[in-house]
Amino acid sequence: MLTIESLTCWLVDIPTVRPHKLSMATMGCQTLTLVRMQCAEGVVGWGEATTIGGLSYGAESPEAIRSAMETYLAPLLCGQRFSGVASLAEKMNASVKGNTFAKSALETAFLDAQGKLLGLPVSALLGGALCERLPVLWTLASGDTGKDIEEGKRLLAEGRHDTFKLKIGARSLKTDIAHALAIKAALGDAVSVRVDVNQAWDFTTAVNGMRQLQDGGIDLVEQPIPLWDRAGLIALSQRFTLPVLADEAVATGHDGYALASGGFTGAYALKIAKAGGPAQALKLAHIAQAAGVALYGGTMLEGTLGTVASLHAWSTVNLQWGTEMFGPLLLKDDVVTQPLSFSDGQVTLPQGPGLGVEIDEEKLRYYARH
């Protein structure tokens, strides 16, 4: 049992190491919405909700996430006792529709506090870790083919990553295909190169594009068409041997069930923010497992807190397509005392109680919006 006493939120702006270009936005800075959950039992939990490009990616902005927590969720939860994430989710869902990013931060903070109270890592509360290290790819998205090739070769030489994702969809199909295939050719056969279109193509463009990407040796195409076009995504997944990764189209177990029962083959990108928290995201994972759909650990380009919360969840399932939990590496700094350890294309899961992450309060004060 854990009694939530108070919640405090911050908006934290941290510059990125270089501009990150997606089909709908270019990021030069990332805003983390952080929450501190004080519990009556004397433990404190931390959570993070982070989106991409203000309101250009998802329906909740960083400011709206904070407002949902402070105005609606804090009065609902403070003073209440919870036996675990099931009763916490039930309470939040009964009075607050949607707002899965805000709920994800709170579920994360609750798990962190519960783990600290019990002396267990969050992964143990979610079923137990199957591994201590998880694979992590890197996204090449400078917007310039030459720079992306240089960056990819450098990271391969350093041994930091061996798999890359490219962000396409903002430019013409011809330019995007030439960009992707030039990078694939430069990095070589042994390197897995995937693309994320972030919903930018219509169905016809996707058929045309996927044919060329498949012929050019690209391994995976992520969310080629809009999230509402479930039938189109199912059709594309059945038409090509190039696998389709559903991202924006699949947030919760309900989406996963609908896609799989409609005949989707391919993989689902799990994200704690889309589902409403680490435990909620695993509900989608388990539906995918039951349907024979592969899994991928996805990111909203969170800082260390959100990344670690995700890693604890992803460590409890087999991920056929690995993860993209590189968010902290895209940021110039963070608000934790100990950075995550990335090497050999992998990241190490912290082992301490709760998330296993300590907040640097001085840095938090420095980067927090006033």
What type of residue sits at position 322? G
Cα separations in angstroms, 298 against 159, 224, 327, 369: 21, 16, 10, 27
Please give the full DSSP string across 2-47, using - where no structure is assigned.
EEEEEEEEEEEEEEEEEEEE-SS-EEEEEEEEEEEEEETTS-EEEE
Q: How far is the CB of 167 from Mg ion (least distance, A)?
A: 9
What is the spatial distance between Cα 236 and Cα 159, in angstroms, rounded to a whole number? 34
Considering the rule CB under 6 A, would residue 148 count as an interface residue with ligand MUC? Answer: no
* Burial 19-41, CB ≥16 within 10 A → b, else e: ebbbbbeebeebbbbbbbbbbee
Nearer to ligand MUC, 112 or 148 (CB): 148
Q: Which of 324, 331, 336, 350 binds ligand MUC (CB under 6 A)?
A: 324
Considering the rule CB under 6 A, would residue 196 count as an interface residue with ligand MUC? Answer: yes
Q: Which residues contact 76 (CB under 8 A, 6 or more apart)?
A: 91, 92, 95, 96
Query: Residue 83 corresponds to which tokens in the numbers above?
Result: 């036996």
Considering the rule CB under 6 A, would residue 51 count as an interface residue with ligand MUC? Answer: no
Q: How far is the CB of 251 from Mg ion (least distance, A)?
A: 12
Nearer to Mg ion, 36 or 161 (CB): 161
The verdict on whether 361 is a catalytic residue reads no
Catalytic member of 21, 103, 167, 271: 167
The verdict on whether 5 is a catalytic residue reads no
Considering the rule CB under 6 A, would residue 112 count as an interface residue with ligand MUC? Answer: no
Considering the rule CB under 6 A, would residue 114 count as an interface residue with ligand MUC? Answer: no
* Residue whose tokens read 């938090």: 364
Which of ligand MUC, Mg ion, none does 139 bind, CB closer than 5 to 8 A by kind?
A: ligand MUC
Considering the rule CB under 6 A, would residue 38 count as an interface residue with ligand MUC? Answer: no
Q: Which of 301, 305, 335, 364 binds ligand MUC (CB under 6 A)?
A: 301
Question: By beta-carbon distance, which residue lies closest to ligand MUC?
Answer: 139
Q: How far is the CB of 21 from ligand MUC (least distance, A)?
A: 9
Which of ligand MUC, Mg ion, none does 299 bind, CB closer than 5 to 8 A by kind?
A: ligand MUC
Considering the rule CB under 6 A, would residue 198 count as an interface residue with ligand MUC? Answer: yes
Sheet holding 163-167, edge to edge: 138-140, 163-167, 192-196, 220-222, 244-246, 267-270, 294-297
Candidate segments 2-10, 254-262, 284-292, 294-302, binder of ligand MUC by CB under 6 A? 294-302
Considering the rule CB under 6 A, would residue 109 count as an interface residue with ligand MUC? Answer: no
Q: Which residues contact 303 (CB under 8 A, 6 or more apart)?
A: 12, 14, 30, 32, 48, 50, 327, 328, 331, 334, 335, 336
Interface residue list for ligand MUC (CB under 6 A): 52, 139, 141, 167, 196, 198, 247, 298-299, 301, 324
Q: Would you please indicate which residues are annotated as catalytic (active-site) residues? A: 167, 324
